Structure 1
Amino acid sequence: MPSNTTPTINRRFTCAPMMDWSDRHCRYFWRLLSKHAVLYTEMVTTGALIYGDRERFLRFNAEEAPVALQLGGSDPEALAQCAAYAEQWGYSEVNLNCGCPSDRVQSGRIGACLMAEPELVRECMSAMMERVGIPVSIKHRIGIDDMEDYAGLLNFVDTVARSGCTTFIVHARKAWLQGLSPKENRDIPPLDYELVARLKQERPNLEIIVNGGIKTLNQCQELLTGLDGVMLGREIYANPYLMADVDKIIYGATTPPPSRLEVMREFVNYCEEELSKGVKLSSMTRHTLGLYQGLPGARRFRRVISENAHKSGAGVDVIWQALQEVESGV
């Protein structure tokens, strides 16, 4: 049985893979806020990597590290091949998506529907782990449809763990693949953190990270008393400055957190470099819109960027104008 590589990354705080959101520009921006958080890419299907524009999907900045590539797929050999690509490109980890509930990925035998096939998932994980030396992890739900809540979860985890996988990122919400939309699946099934904590108690040898509905660092600290890590997604996208205190509160760092203005000044330098390569300003600045959430001038900051960054030829002067609108009132 293969054995997973001892992680060289600390997953106490991780940033969730989010389609259309956690792209390389977003991750660079997040890294300016936290030096220790582990970042995850958007899900990339095996077909996209094997047959598509591999550089487009795999390119990232060295400053993003540690960063994990999340894969979507169900063919062991294809996943192993893509895991090898991830290792070659310098990713810190490969993660298998077994949590996405959308009809589109279900039709491709990807995502949460794989929880109904734990033996297949075990084969997929084994194939990836045999191919690469970097850690291989899995992200999944607490269950799907009529699966028995804890018994079904435990059977899935135990089966997958036989591959040698030790890191399980558990979205603490059941996915209903029949009758609910992906958007409804983010809110309607109740969260059950206690079920995830029970999993950790009964499988203490596994690294268990909880995901779903976490909104504050105080909540993170509470969950970390019984779990190995937390994963946040929508909250840090809507309110990214929450991450500025992650290094101090979650990792015990003594370095003062960066100010919002310091973060944006560094991000301007990044934007200038990317603009010179033909990247559109709006592709980068859209990830910053929530930075001043709750502060005077936040609405003006968002408006200036939203109304101007997409225009042809837009440059970093748009960012400076937005900062002038908000920083004068901070």
Structure 2
Amino acid sequence: MTTDLRCYGDDIQALADLVPDFDLRSPMDVESWYPREWQAIADTLGFAQQLAAAPRAMPTTPDRITAMTLVGLMAFEHALRAGRPGVPESQARVQSAVIQAMTATGLERGELWRVTADPTTLATGACYAEGGRSLRAFYPDTAPGYFGDGWSGPPPRAESACGWQTPLVLHLGTFPWVYSSRLGDTGPGARWASSASQPALEGLHVVASLLEPATNLRQDARQVAAIYRHFATHTAPLVAALPSFQPGRAEAGRLYRRGRFLLAHQGSLHVAALDGPRGRLAASAYNYILRRFASFFAVRRAALRALATLPFEVQRRAATSADPCLRQQVEGVARAS
């Protein structure tokens, strides 16, 4: 059966095609596709050296994807511990507790890509203490940005000790670029680390889990598609203004578009950027974010194609999902089997 993602829109079908297609039922495909994605993540987030040093032995069981995920997360953790603390320990502890609570709720709702919560209902009210003051553990991301038009939402139901007046919103599917309006070269989430706590590891775990079939199928893909379209709408004019890369005619250090992605010819994407009405967008962030969207839908397509071979509980959750496009695909798979 050919799995069709056009239920989410023709643009989503084309988006998934930005990364190689693969078959979850093929060990060779799995052991080629997932390391390639982890390499792309590590190259952007700066833990390629740790990933290269990680063990490569993979089990020949259905848990091979989980094994590769653990290798990638372990490499990222080693890089975090080798770096300088990015936030105070008191802030990191609160961030870890909040991310764990929000991801648990988001997973149940099928809204893990972007999680939202009333901060006053979270651990310590999403506040941390420093220098005798109570401060917000996260940035209040309410201005129009590349992932949305800004949302002040309903105010917190209780008084906030650190001044929260809006919901807490985190775009964990594109971690470490978790805020709609802060897309510089270093994703804000990459700084979520202290000497003892590693909330950044919690963030990357969400990215990794969305590449695993079971969690991918629990996510309502309509949320991902809507955020992607907003991102595409507001970045398309910026990318279109760039020259198309032509080998032999490119200038060193200049930024080009090559297909849907960006290329800094004989230069670094980490220093190149696009400037638009919604702020500065680092070229490295653009490529990474676009690939995260594409990889999510590539896994969704592969998971649907292999649905009959997935555990019964995964099939049951997919069949009862709030995502009508997913239910439609599951019904099609059932009719074809």
TM-score after normalising by structure 1: 0.29
TM-score after normalising by structure 2: 0.29
Q: Which has the higher contact order (CA 8 A, sep 6+)?
A: 2
